[in-house]
Amino acid sequence: MQWFARLAGKLFRRDSLFKQTPCLAPWYFSPSNPHLVRNDADMRWNYVEKVHDAHVGVMALLDQNDVCYGFAGIYTCIFAHPQSEKFLVWNYKYCHGDSPGMLLSLYETSALRPIENPENAAFALQVNKETSHCFNAVPADFFVLTLDPSLTEQEIVFPEPFKCFPDFCIVTNIPGLYPHDNSQTKDTAIILLSPETDKLYLYPQDWFNQSEAIDFGYQWITRAVKNPQTGLIHAQGIRLRDFVLDKTGRQRK
């Protein structure tokens, strides 16, 4: 049974590692994940499929009394602080209005207030094409992440409230990732953000973007995390096997 113990240990380490990643709605959400706490009480997530017979497909953030404080629609990413009383939120897509860039907002759970008419709010979010999420609070802070696709390592000045968050990875598509490539190469990248050191590390996924075997749109990379023991990036995707990147961060091992 030693093989079973080794396999179980490997799966536990993998699951523990991916618990440190941002959660992409709705695929990686569960009632307790991402884990948030308000007034010393656990909050929970609930999938809302329909409102007034109309499909909405959003995740509702509730307290233990089923009071609603916000919604995360499809492609919303949430990264909970380790103490679960703050969270970052952004959209998977690399855009901010009509300009390149990604809007990251920081919320504190203590600032959240009940939504008076959750059904109307959920329906309005589904109709609204300007944002993928709504939380009934003013963000504690926010900033627009913009980057130079040609630089692997970049300086980013994070707002001070962001600096309490540990390093985390964002997966997104970046226009102009391969500026001199006139082919149909895709533009998926993993971005490692280090708020404490004001650093950004960009890893174009060459193995994925330049593959002729990938069914783009049907298969895509969803989340990633840096292994603190090996320094290598582990990642997952939709209809993709879990994978580990080599030291370049651009190719699979």
Residue 109 has pLDDT above 90, yes or no: yes
Q: Is the per-residue pLDDT at 80 higher than 50?
A: yes
Tokens of 87: 């969270």
pLDDT of 102 > 80? The answer is yes
pLDDT at 29: 97
Residue 247 to residues 117, 211, 219: CA-CA distances in angstroms? 50, 19, 24
- Count of CB atoms within 10 A of residue 206's CB? 18
Q: Which residues neighbour 168 within 8 Å (Cβ) at sequence distance 6 or greater?
A: 20, 21, 22, 79, 192, 193, 225
**Across 15-19, 78-82, 102-106, least confident range:** 15-19
Mean pLDDT in residue range 216-244:
96
Average pLDDT over residues 52-67: 95
Contact call for residues 11 and 83 (beta carbons, < 8 A): no
Residues 157-207 have pLDDT tens digits of 999 999 999 999 999 999 889 887 666 679 999 999 999 999 999 999 999
Average model confidence (pLDDT) across the chain = 91
Distance CA 242, CA 231 (A): 17
The whole model's pTM is what? Answer: 0.91
CA 130 to chain centre: 18
Q: Where are the domains of the chain?
A: 24-146, 151-253
Answer whether residue 111 shows pLDDT above 60. yes
